[in-house]
C-alpha cells in the first residue's frame, strides 16, 4: 500500500470506531477515572469489581512467575529427545517472561479488556544488553484503530501518534525527509512547544507474514512519506476481545454490559449524599424583619442569631415525609454490578469451611462462566503471544525455531483455568480405570497402562522429568 492508501484506510477505520468512543469514555469515567475526573465518582463498586476481575484474569490465565503454557510433540511424535528439547524451550521462554515487564503490562491490558471489551498487547524485542529479550506494552484501545480480517481476527492495527519532526527523527533515524523538514527539526530545539505532526503506524497481513509501515504526514511535505517499513513473521500487535457481537469489530466487555447500572448507582449515591447534607444542615425559613440578614447566618454550635422582637426568626422547614427507598435500590444495583463483573464468582473464598467438593464445583462453575471468553482469549491472545515471543527468542538464538502451525509441536495451556477441564477429564478416566480393575483380569488386560500414564501426564500437565523414557508424555 502507498502512504496515501494507508492514511485513507486508517481514516475509514477510525470513522467506524467513533460510535464506540462515547461508551468507552463513560466506562472509564465510572470505573478507572482520570485524576481530574475522580471528583465526579461517588460509588466505587464498579471500580473495585473491575480491578478484581482484571487481577483474577491475570491469575487464572497467565499467572505471574508460574508456568501457564507448555510445549510438547504433536500426536504421534513422541521421541524423548524432542520432548526434552521442547521442555527446555518452554523453560527458557518462561524465564524471559519472569524477567520482563509481562505481568505488569498484561494486567493493564486485562483492565482495558474488562472495561472496553478489547485489549491490545505489543510484543517487541528488547535492546541488546537488557535482562530479557522481550518487552511488552499494553496499548490503550482508545489510541488504536483495528480491522477484522477474513478469519475473524483483529489482524490489522493502526496506531496514531503526534510527534515533532525532531522526535520522529530520533525514533526513525534513517528516515529520508526533505531539507526543509531537516532545518525545521534543527530549529525545534529552541522552541518551547514545537509543532506536532501525525505519524501512523500500521501492521497488516500480506499472506507471508505481516507488513509494518510508519507514515509521516506534515504540512512541509508535498505528500505523506514512509519513514520505516518492515516485515514480521508474527504480528507484534496482539488484539483480543472479551466477546463479540455479530457484525461488530470491537469487543464488548462486562463493564459496558453493566454500564446502565453503574451510572444509576453513581447517581443514587450522589443523591443520597445530597440528601444527607440537607438532613444535617436542614432547610430554614426566616422573616425579613430588617434585623436578620440570612447572608450572614452561620448554623454552627453555640451561634447566636439576632432577630427582631416578636418575629419568628429562623424556623426549620419540615420535610413532607421520610420514606427512603434509596438504600434498597442501591443494594440491588451493587449486587447486579458485582454479578456482571464476576466479583462474587472469581473472588477469594469467603467461607473457610468449604469442602473439597464445593471447591471443585466452584472451579467448574468458573470454567462454565468463562468458557466462551477463555476460548476466544486462547485463540486471540495466548497462542499469538507465545508464538511471537518464541520467534523473538529464536531470532536471538536462545531457542531453536519452533513452528506451532505445522503440526509438529503442540501448545499446551497449564493455567489454573485450563486445568479445570483437565482435572475433570482425569477424574473420569480414573473412575473408568477403577471400574475396570474390579471387572477381573480379562478387563484389566484390555487397558494399556503405559498409554494411560502418558495420557494422564499430558492432561494434568506433568513435567517430562518425572516419567521414565519409555513413557514420555505426548
- DSSP H helical segments within 188-258, as ranges? 254-257
pLDDT in tens, 196-248: 889 999 999 987 889 999 999 888 788 888 989 999 888 899 999 998 888 88
The pair phi, psi for residue 92, each rounded to 5°, is -65, -45
What's the confidence (pLDDT) of residue 357?
A: 63
CA 144 vs CA 11, 17, 33, 202: distances in Å: 12, 10, 20, 10
pLDDT higher than threshold 60 for residue 413: yes
Given this model, what pLDDT does residue 301 score?
64
Residues 44-48, mean pLDDT to the nearest whole number: 91
pLDDT band at 472 (very low <50, low <70, confident <90, very high): very low
Query: What is the average per-residue pLDDT within 112-131?
Result: 92
Structure confidence by residue, pLDDT tens digits, 361-397: 666 666 676 777 888 888 899 999 999 999 999 998 8
DSSP string, 57-73: HHHHHS-TTS--EEEEE
pLDDT at site 114: 94
Cell of 278: 440537607
Grid coordinates of 13: 477505520
Average pLDDT in the 147-159 region? Answer: 89
Percent of the chain with pLDDT over 90: 30
For 265-295, the pLDDT digits (tens) are 998 888 888 777 767 666 666 666 667 677 7
Predicted TM-score (pTM) of this structure: 0.80
- Which range has the worst mean pLDDT, 86-95, 125-134, 356-365, 372-381? 356-365
347: pLDDT strictly greater than 60 = no
Residue bearing the bigger pLDDT, 75 or 417:
417
Query: Range with the lowest mean pLDDT among 139-148, 370-379, 404-413?
Result: 404-413
Amino acid at each position: 500500500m502507498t502512504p496515501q492508501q494507508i492514511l485513507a484506510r486508517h481514516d475509514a477505520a477510525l470513522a467506524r470506531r467513533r460510535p464506540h468512543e462515547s461508551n468507552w469514555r463513560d466506562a472509564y469515567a465510572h470505573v478507572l477515572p482520570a485524576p481530574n475526573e475522580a471528583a465526579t465518582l461517588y460509588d466505587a463498586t464498579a471500580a473495585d469489581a473491575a480491578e478484581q476481575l482484571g487481577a483474577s484474569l491475570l491469575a487464572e490465565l497467565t499467572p505471574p512467575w508460574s508456568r501457564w503454557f507448555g510445549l510438547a510433540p504433536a500426536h504421534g511424535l513422541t521421541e524423548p529427545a524432542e520432548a526434552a528439547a521442547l521442555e527446555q524451550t518452554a523453560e527458557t521462554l518462561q524465564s524471559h517472561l519472569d524477567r520482563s515487564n509481562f505481568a505488569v503490562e498484561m494486567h493493564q491490558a486485562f483492565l482495558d479488556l474488562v472495561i472496553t471489551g478489547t485489549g491490545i498487547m505489543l510484543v517487541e524485542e528488547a535492546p541488546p544488553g537488557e535482562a530479557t529479550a522481550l518487552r511488552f506494552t499494553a496499548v490503550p484501545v482508545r489510541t488504536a484503530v483495528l480491522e477484522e480480517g477474513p478469519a475473524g481476527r483483529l489482524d490489522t492495527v493502526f496506531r496514531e501518534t503526534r510527534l515533532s519532526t525532531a522526535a520522529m527523527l530520533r525514533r526513525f533515524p534513517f528516515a529520508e525527509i526533505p531539507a526543509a523538514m531537516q532545518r525545521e527539526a534543527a530549529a525545534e530545539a529552541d522552541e518551547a512547544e514545537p509543532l506536532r505532526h501525525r505519524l501512523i503506524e500500521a501492521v497488516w497481513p500480506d499472506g507471508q507474514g505481516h507488513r509494518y509501515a510508519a507514515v509521516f504526514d506534515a504540512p512541509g511535505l508535498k505528500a505523506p512519506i514512509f519513514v520505516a517499513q518492515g516485515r514480521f513473521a508474527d504480528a507484534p500487535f496482539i488484539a483480543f476481545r472479551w466477546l463479540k457481537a455479530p457484525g461488530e469489530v470491537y469487543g464488548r466487555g462486562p463493564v459496558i454490559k453493566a454500564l446502565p447500572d453503574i451510572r444509576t448507582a453513581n447517581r443514587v449515591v450522589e443523591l443520597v449524599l445530597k440528601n444527607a447534607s440537607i438532613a444535617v444542615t436542614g432547610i430554614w425559613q426566616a422573616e425579613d424583619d430588617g434585623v436578620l440578614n440570612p447572608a450572614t447566618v452561620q448554623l454552627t454550635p453555640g451561634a447566636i442569631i439576632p432577630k427582631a422582637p416578636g418575629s419568628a426568626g429562623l424556623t426549620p422547614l419540615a420535610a413532607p415525609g421520610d420514606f427512603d427507598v434509596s438504600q434498597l435500590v442501591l443494594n440491588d444495583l451493587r449486587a447486579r454490578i458485582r454479578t456482571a463483573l464476576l466479583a462474587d464468582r472469581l473472588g477469594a473464598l469467603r467461607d473457610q469451611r468449604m469442602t473439597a467438593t464445593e471447591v471443585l464445583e466452584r472451579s467448574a462453575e468458573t470454567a462454565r462462566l468463562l468458557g466462551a471468553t477463555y476460548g476466544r482469549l486462547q485463540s486471540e491472545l495466548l497462542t499469538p503471544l507465545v508464538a511471537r515471543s518464541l520467534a523473538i527468542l529464536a531470532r536471538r538464538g536462545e531457542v531453536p525455531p519452533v513452528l506451532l502451525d505445522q503440526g509438529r509441536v503442540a501448545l499446551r495451556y497449564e493455567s489454573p483455568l485450563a486445568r479445570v477441564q483437565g482435572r475433570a477429564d482425569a477424574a473420569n478416566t480414573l473412575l473408568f480405570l477403577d471400574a475396570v480393575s474390579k471387572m477381573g483380569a480379562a478387563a484389566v488386560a484390555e487397558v494399556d497402562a503405559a498409554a494411560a500414564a502418558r495420557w494422564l501426564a499430558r492432561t494434568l500437565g506433568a513435567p517430562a522429568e518425572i516419567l521414565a523414557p519409555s513413557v514420555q508424555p505426548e
